[in-house]
Structure 1
Amino acid sequence: MQFSLFESPNDNHAPYKLPLSEGDVTYFPNALSKKASDTFFDQLQAELPWRQDTIRLFGKHVKIPRLQSWHGDEECTYTYSNLTMSPNPWTESLLDIKKCCEVLCGTEHKTKFNSVLANWYRNGQDSMSFHSDDEPELGINPVIASVTLGEARPFVFKHKETKEKHTQVLEHGSVLIMAGSTQSHYVHGIAKTAKPIGGRINLTFRHLIQRAR
């Protein structure tokens, strides 16, 4: 890509830690430049093999309220909610964004991601129910980088025991890094809204642990 992926160093949007009592979450507003974010949003809509999967919920098969696409290294098969996904190949766009996320993780959360789940929220009726990213393939205390492109949406953390809540609006071009024991203590999700809003693509980069065969 011929233009800068990151915002200018003079940008006033400094990263900050979210005030979670038992979590380690850092928010990077405008981590990606406006031009890069706009381009990636259009490219990912066009190039990823989006699909609407079905999961079993309370004994019934229901379509998840969003489109998704799973990508990663060849061995990165992923299972959640009894849905098993084999990885699609990396695209150049996904690899560019992955490198940016790895840079943002820095020395504190030094991580090489080998997979990413892309979710396309087409409008306000698409959502993500409360859940933790705590599947066995992710290991203990995983580092997950969440990238938002498109419409800003409120992202809610809820403590599993105290029910304490914190809402962070995830903006176009932002990166949210969840680390430490965050997945052990919190669930997170994005609610539906009746407001007429545009689409949002979210990328959650992960490192899957390869099990011995």
Structure 2
Amino acid sequence: MEENAIEQWIEQGKLLLRQAWQKIVDITMWFAKETEKAELDADPGVAMVLALGLTFLLGSACWAASIAQARRHSIWLHFTLGLLLPWVYPLVILFAMDIKGEKEMLAKLEADKRAQEEREAERQRNIAMLKPQEEEPKPDASGGWKRSYFEQIARDRDGKPAGPWDVKFNGVVLRIVRIVEAQDQLVVVEQLDDRGQTSRLRIPYAKIEAWQDAE
């Protein structure tokens, strides 16, 4: 998009310069004819200086106008300023002039993007609210404990280790902080003792009296 704008600006500049040069030629021819009618001796040097001066001024004005047009500003205002400040003014606006309406357009695009992100976030929240809640894993219906049950509760929905739990085992309540591994006949866990230290323990399923989330 930027390259197309530059090419368009170059073509417009060429067109304005051609038009300016044609005006200079017309003025020079008119001046020559009027001099001939008045039977005055025209100094070729003076004519050349006039032609070059007009070229210098109009070239500056046309360049300023083409820059202004490419950036959506008033052509004639900047044509006049380019005429009054030859070549200095076009160079200044070449680097300093913004595209008219660009800031507003960028602000609108940013606002639209934020609104779209908010709509998407709201949609995801609605989907999450309507999604059926996953059933909590339960022990086997026969009242026993199975390997599959402990494999399910070992990690949370994000895949991180779950816990802690309060487990009644051989008449003693233990604080279990992590399920290490569920095997066919027993579960390997880490327990937390009264001193705040952890140790591994192998608990047979048949000896588990109760297993619940820690309070």
Q: Same fold (TM over 0.5)?
A: no
Q: Which protein has the larger Cα radius of gyration, Structure 1 or Structure 2?
A: 2
Normalising by structure 1, report the TM-score.
0.17
- Larger RCO, structures 1/2 (Cα 8 Å, 6+ apart): 1
Query: Between Structure 1 and Structure 2, which shows a larger proportion of strand residues?
Result: 1
Query: Between Structure 1 and Structure 2, which shows a larger proportion of helix residues?
Result: 2
